[in-house]
Copies of this chain bind each other. A is one copy, B any other.
Amino acid sequence: MTEQELRKLLEEVRGGQTTLDRALAHLKKLPFEDLGFAKIDHHRPLRQGFPEVIYARGKTPEQVAKIARGMLGNGSSHNILITRADRTIFRAVRRAARTAKFFPLSGAILIRRDRAIRGKGLILVVSAGTSDIPVAEEAAVTAEAMGNRVETIYDVGVAGLHRLLEHRRRLTEARVVICVAGMEGALASVVGGLVAAPVIAVPTSTGYGAGTGGVAALLAMLNSCAANVSVVNIDNGFGAGCVASAINRA
C-alpha cells in the first residue's frame, strides 16, 4: 500500500465515501506483507536475475522433469538451472525441453530462455587441479544462467606458478574472480594478491587424509592473507556463482 493509496483511503473516510467500519477493517486486515514485503519476494527472481533452480540430488528423473515442465509453463522466461543431476535425469528433462544442455562434469543442466547479459563485467572462474573442475563448472554455469559473461581458467595450481602467471592479464580484467581449489587451497591467496577485484573462494572436497572433505582448503581460505577474499561452503559452486552474479550486477 503506497502513501497515495493510504491518503486516498483517508480522504474517502473524511468525505464519507467509505464508512468508518470498512476503513477500519481495511486497515486492520492490512497484511503486513502487503506493505511491499511480499511483493519484493514475488519480484525477487526478476530483480536478482536468479534463474529458477532445481536441486536434483535425491529426486527421481520423473520428479525433476515434472518440476521443470511446470516452470516451463508458468509464463515467465527465466533460465532454468538444474544442479547435481546425471545423464538419466538429463534424458528425462530433454523430453520436456529440447534446448536443455547437460554439463557432465558438474551434473548441471541449463535450459536457456533468456540470453540477455545483465552483469556489468567479466566473471572469471579459476581452478587449481583437474578434480576441482566439476565444482568450477557448476559455478560457471550458475553465473551464466544468471546473465553474466563468464570465462574459465582451469588447472593452474600454485605448485606450478608460471601456469597461473601466464593469465595475469585476464585476471586483472575480471570484475569478480571465483577461485576453486581443494588440497591446501592456496590458490585463493595467490590470486587474491594478484587482483584488486573481489575473490570468491570455493574449497573443494578433493584429496584424502587429514583435512579431507575440503576442510583444509576451507580453513586456508578463511585464513587467507589476501584481504579481498570471501568464502562459500565446500563444493558450493552454485553459491559462488550466485554471489559473483550479485556482485557483478550491483
A144 CB to closest chain B CB (Å) equals 15
A189 interface neighbour in B186, B231, B238, Cβ under 8 Å = B186
A193 to B190, CA, bound (A): 13
Whether the pair A242, B228 counts as a contact (CB closer than 8 A) is yes
Give the number of chain A interface residues (Cβ < 8 Å): 100
Q: Assuming the A-B contacts A220-B220, A228-B242, A231-B232, are A30 and B24 also in contact, with contact meaning beta carbons closer than 8 angstroms in the complex?
A: no
Contact between chains at A196 and B165 (CB < 8 Å) = no
Determine whether A14 belongs to the interface, using a CB cutoff of 8 Å to chain B.
Answer: yes
Query: Does B32 lie within 8 Å of A35, measured CB to CB?
Result: yes
Interface string of A160-185 (1 = CB under 8 A from B): 11100110100010011000001111
A235: chain B residues within 8 A (beta carbon): 208-209
* Stretch of A5-13, A70-78, A108-116 with 4 or more beta carbons under 8 angstroms from chain B: A5-13
The answer to whether A65 has its CB under 8 Å from any CB of chain B is no
Task: Point out the residues of chain B lying under 8 angstroms from A58, CB to CB.
Answer: 131
Is the CB of A148 closer than 8 A to any CB of chain B? no
Q: Write the nearest CB–CB distance from A35 to chain B, whole angstroms.
A: 5
Q: How far is B33's CA from A166's CA once the two chains are assembled, in angstroms? A: 7
**In the complex with contacts A7-B24, A228-B48, A210-B222 CB distance below 8 A:** yes
Q: Does A227 contact B (CB under 8 A)?
A: yes
B223 to A183, Cβ gap below 8 A? yes
Q: How far is the CA of A48 from the CA of B227 in the complex (A)?
A: 11
Q: Give A85-111 as 1s and 0s: 1 = Cβ < 8 Å from B's Cβ atoms.
A: 000000000000000000000000000
In angstroms, Cα B232 to Cα A210, docked, is 10
List 4 tightest A-B contacts by C-beta distance, closest first.
A32-B32, A186-B186, A211-B219, A159-B193
